[in-house]
A and B are shown apart, each in its own frame.
Chain A
Amino acid sequence: MKYFLSFFFLCCALLLSAQNTATVSGTIRDAQNGETLIGATVEAVGLGKGNISNEYGFFSFTLPEGNDSVSLRFSYIGYQTSYRKIKPVGPIKLNVSLRSEDNVIEEVVIKANSLEEKMKSTEMSVTTISTKEAKLLPALLGEVDIIKILQLKPGITAGSEGTTGIFVRGGGADQNLIVLDEAVVYNANHLFGFFSTFNSDAVKDVKVYKGGFPAQYGGRLSSVIDVRMKEGNNQEFSGSGGLGLIASRLTLEGPIQKDKSSFIVSGRRTYADLITRGINKSNENTPDYNPIPDYYFYDLNTKVNFTLSEKDRLYLSGYFGRDVFKFKDETFNFLFDWGNTTGTARWNHVFGPKLFANTTFTYSDYRYRIRNILQGFSFSLGSNVNDVNTKVDFYYQPSNNHTVRFGANATYHDFVVGRLKAGSDDGEVKFEAGQTFDGMEYGLYANDEWAVTDRFKLSYGARISAWQNNPSFYARFEPRAAANFAINNKWSVKGSYTRMNQYVHLLASSGLSLPTDIWYPSTEGIKPEISDQVAIGTSYLLGDNLLITWEAWYKWLQNQLDFKDGAEVFGNSNLEDELTIGRGYAFSPLELEIEKKEGKLTGWIGYTLAWTKRSDFPDINRGEEFLPRFDTRHNLSIVALWNLSKRWQITATWVYTSGYVAWLPSGRFSFQDIPGGQTQALVPIYGDRNTYRYPAYMRADLGVVWKWKGKYTENDLTLSVYNATDRRNPYFIYINAETVETPLGDRPTRIYAEQVSLFPILPSITWNFKF
């Protein structure tokens, strides 16, 4: 605490340090729709001074005062570079709009320097994907999914084929802080993880931190996935949408008051249920026909923003999504639905050219509900977690050498864990189970990014986090540090250290994400999870537009949770008894990425060599070390986007993973059972956990995008071929048997292993339009 206060006072002292300078500040936007541009560069030509816009599009930097005019260059990848002349006297406010490259008729050479900025930045272990980029890449069943694109980045694995699981640098699926416009999304999956909750039409971009976490982020151990929604076009009314194989999308956006305020509404829904209902209807008189269950999911994103004054801007955004699974026959009247709700109210206020503040209120809710109602009896089971969060973040630029961020947040969490009610309507038979919890989570942070010299940058800070859940109270100090040394204009070396604490935990009964997985708070018995991560790396800019980044990292994990074998997950009023606590570690000597962001051919190559282990769980593997299911040794991905012409683009991805691990049986026995029970000739005996590694996974996807302009619309047809080589990748392996009928029941005659694959070659076509 003492060090934190000293540090904070140092920050305050910096407030007073700048003199005889002109401060240039403002916001950089897209000229066509008014969206703020994150990470755009502003630079005083010839002076070597400048900055990049923050996540709200705001920038600020200082110049020496003088009478000579200075030319400022504004650039952003994919946009035309723009120049402004200013006289560096006093505070200067500049709101700049950049034109998208798409609107340029003639060929324009873009000299955006985002790779150079990335090379020079203290930020490491960070990756950003824009929706624009994601929409070009081939997608499973044509459904563009920005989360699945992240799985193609080094250090991130999927955990299983076709799903939106994210396992970052040896961390579990729950160790990712997924935020949509700063509101936590607790379960970012539809259809048991095959699609994410993020509708590509409503999302602007996604930034992922795999390590080197800035101090403003806390609460999860392994990554921060920051998803930002579009703001809505404040210039003109427009719409976009698409018709795909499994879902359709429609987005409407436009100004409420031109240049001042705008809205965006975006919806998506699947329609397989409309077909299955028709099939069921046409077969309703067929004897012994088993109806197909109804399944659909939908999302609704909305956002409005208002420019209240030169210094104030207000954003209100929300998300609502549900998956619905229904089935009704003589035995069942079954409904299973789950989904997220989030809401964000954000107020940006510019105190002055050097100080910017963002005050945010968010609401997050995730719930699932299972109901079965039969004549005279009912059953319901559900869990939910919801948060109300308030936070304030300050962004302060006292001089060109320092960028200070500080802020605080407080979150109220409310948990309902496995609430079960079942019984007869007359009350004669009644089952009840479940637990409720609440808790307060606090965070207080400060961070300074200090350009010590032209070549050496240091980012240092800390976060104090705390958790209160009567009677437990935990307060933790989380130091954060990162450094970058530029050896020359093309080459830099970096290092970082972060400590993170996690106070809410996902209890998953398998390695895969399911809607019934339960969020559970830290309690007296369940201590907060802790991670420490160190990373070193180097970035080399080859030519102007090829960035080669190598990183090596080591991560220690404490207080990791898992279920004991055979745990009673549902209908349990004391879930803690079913948990076992251990440790873990993961490391990689080689996490390599080669990125190319400009030119006709863009894309990246990512490779990771990593080890992930868990240990010291008293109830698993006799406390000995074991591999978690998502451990993979080699991960290689190649992503290429080839811009053939303004109308044609060809994209391709290729993925190689050295195989996930699985827990397969080593022995078997016959189980006769009691009178009336079914004899099992083959009961697997499971020994040590996850000792078998699946064969390597390999997949090539291809995409072709054809764009054309109609009278009123801009259109594209996107052809995606998922698994273009039709390779049968292992999804899971089980042990099967050939049997013959005997008086003792079916007896196996031969046992063999059967590999099940999930997806053959899957071509799909999607029509997207804009008007």
Chain B
Amino acid sequence: MKINILKYIAPVAILAFVACNLSKEVDIELPEYERQPVVECYLEPGKPFRLLLTRSYSFFDPFGLDSSFFQNTLLQDAVVTISYNGQTDTLFNTFSFDPSPLKLFNYTGLNIVPATPGIDYQLNINLPDNEGNITGNTIMLPLVPIDSVVVEFSPDIDSIARALTYVTDDPAAKNYYRRLLHYNSLDSIPEQDFLADDRILTTTKLAFGTGYELREGDTVYNTVCHITKDYYDYYESVQLAVFGNINPFAQPSPIKSNVTGSGNPLGIFTCLVYERDTAIVKR
């Protein structure tokens, strides 16, 4: 279980500084940085093999919304393969997307990711122009289903309710989870998004709750992802890097990638196994 008390204090503090005119834009020089390839590949059972391969930037490199910026961001013309169960699938350099919520990919395979737990996957990318290679490994985990979602109305104010989501943890294995909670739309910013593990869980039940903040008719999307340790470390380091930038009390973290190779990459290659429950708040 990851606990971050200061996460809630920092945004308020920054707002206060801005309100008191205590912040100003300054010119600073950051250390030299050489762009790196960035891999983002989630193998989702039942979906095609697909991957987003981009390049990082120096921090102050200009942003853009035009096509040239995206062209400069996307890393094209690489040779991408994923091997599993003795077969190798090639992911072609074609553009695809999932409409809702919108996700983009610039490498897509022809086959569908099998749902069988325990399959090992190997990623291999040969970068164009002899820029080196990228490799990675991951394993398909079993689904951890949501046992139940219980909606409880407040004993004090009967118009507000909370939702408690229960899952059963396998005590024989070290398990890592990512919990996402959305109200009313999956395209919205998650109300809750955190990592959890069963390291200190002494029972087999795991519960994720909301505060008494729901009203009758609200739709609650509960997502519980069963994730690998690599993904847990990667996502945590991403959060710490983002958070470390805005919070003077926080220690930032370098990105903990699970892809390596002569191409000096960053990123994550992992399977994505999750259950999503949709509940409508009613009495």
Q: Which residues of A pack against B, CB within 8 Å?
A: 160, 192, 329-332, 336, 370, 374-375, 377, 381, 420, 422-424, 427-433, 509-512, 514, 516, 563, 565-566, 568, 570-573, 663-672, 674-678, 680, 682-688, 691-692, 695, 728, 730-735, 737, 740, 742-744, 747-760
Residues of A within 8 A of B244 (CB): 663, 684, 686
Identify the closest chain B residue to A566 (Cβ): B253
B-to-A contact residues, CB < 8 Å: 1-3, 5, 14, 17, 20-28, 30-33, 35-36, 38, 40, 42, 44, 52, 54-65, 73, 98, 101-104, 152, 154-155, 157, 160, 162, 166, 178, 180, 182, 186, 189-190, 193, 199-203, 205-207, 209-213, 221, 223, 225, 233, 236-238, 240-242, 244-246, 248-256, 266, 272, 274, 276
Provide the bound-state CA to CA distance between A669 and B203, in Å. Answer: 39
Q: Are A566 and B256 in contact (CB under 8 A)?
A: yes
Most buried by B among A332, A422, A734, A752: A734
How far does the alpha carbon of A4 sit from the alpha carbon of B189 in the complex, in Å? 68
Query: Is A685's CB under 8 angstroms from B272's CB?
Result: no
Known contacts A667-B57, A760-B22; A672 and B35 CB within 8 A of each other: no
- Pick the contact of B241: A427, A512, A573, A686 (CB < 8 A): A686
Residue contact B206 to A330, C-beta cutoff 8 Å:
no
* A375→B155 contact, CB < 8 A: yes
A733 — which chain B residues lie within 8 A by C-beta?
A: 26, 28
Distance (Å) between the CB of B206 and the closest chain A CB? 7
Q: Which of B26, B73, B225 contacts A674 (CB 8 A)?
A: B225
Closest residue of chain B to A620 (Cβ to Cβ) is B254
Residue in contact with B33 in the complex, picked from A377, A512, A687, A737, CB distance below 8 Å: A687
Nearest CB of chain B from residue A759's CB, rounded to whole Å? 8
Q: Which residues of A contact B54 (CB under 8 A)?
A: 669-670
> By the criterion CB–CB under 8 Å, are A512 and B248 in contact?
yes
Separation of A667 and B33 alpha carbons in the complex (Å): 6
Q: Which residues of A have CB within 8 Å of B60?
A: 751-752
Could you tell me the distance between the alpha carbons of A687 and B241 in the complex, rounded to whole angstroms? 11
Please list the 5 inter-chain residue pairs (A to B) with the smallest Cβ-Cβ separation, ordered nearest first: A331-B211, A732-B248, A669-B56, A433-B200, A666-B33
CB distance from A50 to the nearest CB of B (A): 52
Other than A566-B253, A568-B2, give 20 A-B pairs with Cβ distance below 8 A. A336-B5, A375-B162, A428-B205, A510-B249, A565-B237, A571-B1, A664-B30, A668-B58, A671-B40, A674-B225, A676-B276, A677-B190, A678-B189, A678-B190, A678-B193, A684-B241, A734-B245, A744-B102, A751-B60, A755-B26
Q: Give the CA-CA distance A433 to B38 in the complex, in Å.
A: 36
Q: How far is the CA of A570 from the CA of B208 in the complex (A)?
A: 18
CB-defined contacts of B213 to chain A, threshold 8 Å: 330-331
Q: A422-B1, A424-B207, A753-B26 are in contact. Are A684 and B63 (CB under 8 A)?
A: no
Minimum Cβ distance to chain A for residue B27 (Å): 7
A757 near B245 (CB under 8 angstroms)?
A: no
Nearest B residue to A746 by beta-carbon distance? B189
Among B14, B61, B245, B253, the residue within 8 A (CB) of A565 is B253
Q: Is the CB of A686 within 8 A of B203?
A: no
Closest residue of chain A to B3, judged by CB?
A570
Distance in angstroms from B62 CB to nearest chain A CB is 8
User: In whole angstroms, how far apart are the Cα atoms of A620 and B266 in the complex?
Assistant: 18
Q: Are B63 and A750 in contact (CB under 8 A)?
A: yes
A510 engages B251 (CB within 8 Å): yes
**Chain B contacts for A676, CB-based, 8 A:** 101, 180, 182, 186, 190, 221, 223, 276
A668 touches B255 (CB 8 A): no
Known: A374-B209, A753-B28. A684 touches B242 (CB 8 A): yes
